[in-house]
């Protein structure tokens, strides 16, 4: 996950330039989780019309939007990871699981139960541990 030195495209240097402090890295990662979570909703909607014809795939706007949001989130994440501490950023990345849960209720009429919430919170905690462990070396 750690891309050191020249490991990103020139166009992204603009974004890079504005990100001087950890606070900005945290905000960027938070933005990344929102994009990822929104992308998931679009992917789910798009998966309903999934077909193996290329033409239909290209016409599946929700699916394409979902992948585009996901990709954008990944690019932002790589930039943020370069600047921020893993132990701080990993638990924030994990909040995407919380956002997806809320968005699933609101936009997909899915029902969250106690077990699912317990699972989401436990996973966020687990990613926190891995992030903390990763920053130790």
Partner 1 sequence: MKTELLSILLVFIGTIIGSFGALYLKIGSKDFSINIKKLIRNYKLIFGFLFYALSSVFYVIALKWGELSVLYPLCAASYIWVCFLSMKFLNEKMNRLKWLGIITIVIGIIFIGIGG
Footprint on this chain of partner 1 (rule: CB under 8 A)? 1, 3, 6-7, 9-10, 40-41, 43-44, 46-48, 50, 63, 67, 70, 94, 97, 100-101, 104-105, 108, 110, 112-134, 136-137
Could you tell me which residues come within 8 angstroms of residue 76 by beta carbon, excluding any fewer than 6 positions away?
15, 28, 29, 31, 32, 35
Please report which helix (H) or strand (E) contains residue 96, including its range.
helix 86-108
Q: Which is nearer to partner 1, 10 or 17 (CB)?
A: 10
Q: In angstroms, rounded to a whole number, what is the distance separating the alpha carbons of residues 128 and 39?
A: 23
Give CA torsion, residues 63, 66, 72, 78, to 10 deg. -110
The residue (of 24 and 62) whose beta carbon lies closer to partner 1 is: 62
CB of 22 to partner 1, least distance (A): 20
Residue 20 or 116: the one with the smaller Cβ distance to partner 1 is 116
d(CA 82, CA 61): 32
- Contact between 88 and 80 under an 8 Å Cβ cutoff? The reply is no
* Min CB(36)–partner 1 separation in Å: 10
23 vs 123, beta carbon nearer partner 1 = 123
Contact, 127 vs 94, CB < 8 A?
yes
Least spacing, CB of residue 90 vs partner 1, in Å: 9
């Amino acid at each position: 996950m750690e891309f050191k030195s020249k490991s990103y495209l020139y166009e992204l240097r603009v974004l890079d330039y504005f990100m001087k402090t950890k606070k900005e890295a945290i905000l960027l990662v938070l933005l990344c989780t929102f994009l990822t979570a929104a992308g998931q909703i679009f992917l789910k909607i798009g998966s309903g019309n999934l077909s193996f014809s290329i033409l239909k795939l290209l016409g599946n706007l929700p699916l394409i939007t979902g992948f585009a949001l996901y990709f954008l989130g990944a690019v932002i994440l790589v930039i943020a990871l370069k600047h921020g501490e893993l132990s701080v950023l990993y638990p924030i990345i994990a909040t995407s699981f919380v956002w997806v849960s809320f968005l699933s209720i609101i936009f997909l009429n899915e029902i969250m139960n106690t077990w699912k919430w317990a699972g989401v919170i436990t996973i966020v905690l687990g990613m926190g541990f891995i992030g903390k462990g990763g920053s130790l070396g």
